[in-house]
């Protein structure tokens, strides 16, 4: 066969593989929550991602927890776990899917959850897994999530008419994983760079941590940060490194309770030399334009990297 004919055949084969990959369903997966608001927000994000990807099928799913929520609290539609969604795709004849992780960093729950699901699928099932939103290995220069977090801070400062420069705490859940912690510290550096002179201090804090000294890298805890200078008085902005509402973030969540307790403790101390502590959390990140664009890019990259290569 002539070289030109061989080239044409190769191009046609690649085009066919691209078309096949583009028809695979996308599964937008989060960690999951027992609170209905989390599942409803995940569904909204999945719908927005589908629109951004020209109507591709995007199925919301969680690693765990959300399937315990009563369907009547979810518009009559039960929440689904990742394992169930992938099993359903396979059982109805689907030969693959692309997972879009709605995670800031590579948590153990995500890694173990995907591995457990993959082990139950046929060997021929083409399971593609996109990178997390903050990808130190594959996209070290991609600072869109950090810039979005900084933009949330600036919007809050302007809307609430807060005087700058302000003290800013970038708060996340806390983690046993140094890799996930490094993602938080990267966000701290990116927010600090983006805010520049509008912030006098930008540091990180964890909502919670394990007690073992091996996890001291999570310090300071948010409750301790809000009890020590410079975050123990005046206006403090919490840059919320959380994606969806649930038990930890959102109305009445753990972070809100920690903030309320810190403000009450500061007021009870009665230190007239200090300003009253006023803590201002930013909105959650999930569903914002930068997050959606990053998710879309992670899907495209995952599909391009393994075209025609089953697991």
CATH of domain 144-242+250-281: 3.40.50
Same fold, 11-133+289-305 and 144-242+250-281: yes
pLDDT of residue 297: 96
% of the chain with per-residue pLDDT over 90: 84
pLDDT at 161: 95
- Give the burial string for 155-170 (b: 16+ CB within 10 Å, else e): ebbeeeebebebbbbb
Domain borders along the chain are 11-133+289-305, 144-242+250-281
* Strands (DSSP E) found in 80-160: 96-101, 126-129
Residues of the chain with pLDDT under 70: 1-22, 306-311
| Separation CA 154–CA 166 (nearest Å) | 10
Q: Which fold has domain 11-133+289-305?
A: Rossmann fold (3.40.50)
CA distance 87 to 25: 13
Query: What's the pLDDT score for residue 2?
Result: 57
Q: What is the pLDDT of residues 74-99, one digit of tens each?
A: 999 999 999 999 999 999 999 999 99
180-238 pLDDT, tens digit per residue, is 999 999 999 999 999 999 999 999 999 999 999 999 999 999 999 999 999 999 999 99
Question: CA-to-CA distance for 62 and 41, rounded, in angstroms?
Answer: 12
Q: What is the predicted pLDDT for the residue at 16?
A: 46
Q: What is the pLDDT of residue 3?
A: 52
Say which residues have a Cβ less than 8 Å from residue 93's Cβ, sequence separation at least 6.
Answer: none
């Amino acid at each position: 066969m002539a070289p030109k004919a061989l080239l044409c055949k190769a191009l046609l084969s690649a085009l066919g593989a691209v078309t096949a990959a583009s028809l695979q369903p996308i599964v937008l997966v989060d960690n999951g929550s027992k609170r209905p608001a989390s599942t409803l927000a995940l569904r909204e994000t999945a719908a927005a991602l589908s629109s951004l990807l020209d109507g591709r099928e995007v199925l919301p799913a969680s690693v765990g927890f959300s399937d315990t929520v009563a369907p009547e609290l979810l518009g009559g539609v039960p929440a689904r776990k990742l394992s169930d969604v992938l099993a359903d795709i396979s059982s109805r004849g689907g030969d693959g899917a692309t997972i879009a992780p709605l995670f800031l960093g590579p948590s153990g729950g995500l890694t173990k959850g995907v591995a457990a699901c993959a082990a139950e699928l046929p060997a021929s099932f083409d399971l593609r897994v996109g990178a997390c939103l903050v990808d130190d290995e594959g996209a070290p220069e991609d600072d869109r999530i950090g810039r979005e977090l900084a933009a949330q801070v600036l919007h809050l400062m302007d809307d609430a008419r807060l005087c700058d420069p302000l003290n800013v705490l970038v708060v996340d859940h806390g983690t046993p994983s140094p890799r996930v912690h490094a993602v938080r510290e990267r966000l701290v550096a990116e927010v600090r760079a983006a805010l520049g002179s509008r912030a006098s201090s930008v540091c990180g804090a964890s909502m919670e941590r394990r007690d073992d000294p091996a996890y001291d890298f999570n310090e300071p805890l948010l409750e301790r940060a809000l009890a020590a200078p410079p975050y123990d008085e005046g206006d403090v902005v919490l840059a919320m490194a959380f994606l969806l509402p649930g038990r930890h973030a959102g109305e009445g969540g753990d972070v809100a309770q920690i903030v309320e307790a810190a403000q009450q403790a500061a007021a009870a101390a009665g230190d007239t030399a200090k300003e009253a502590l006023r803590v201002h959390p930013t909105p959650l990140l999930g569903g914002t334009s930068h997050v959606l664009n990053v998710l879309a890019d992670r899907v495209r990259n995952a599909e391009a990297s393994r075209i025609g290569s089953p697991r």
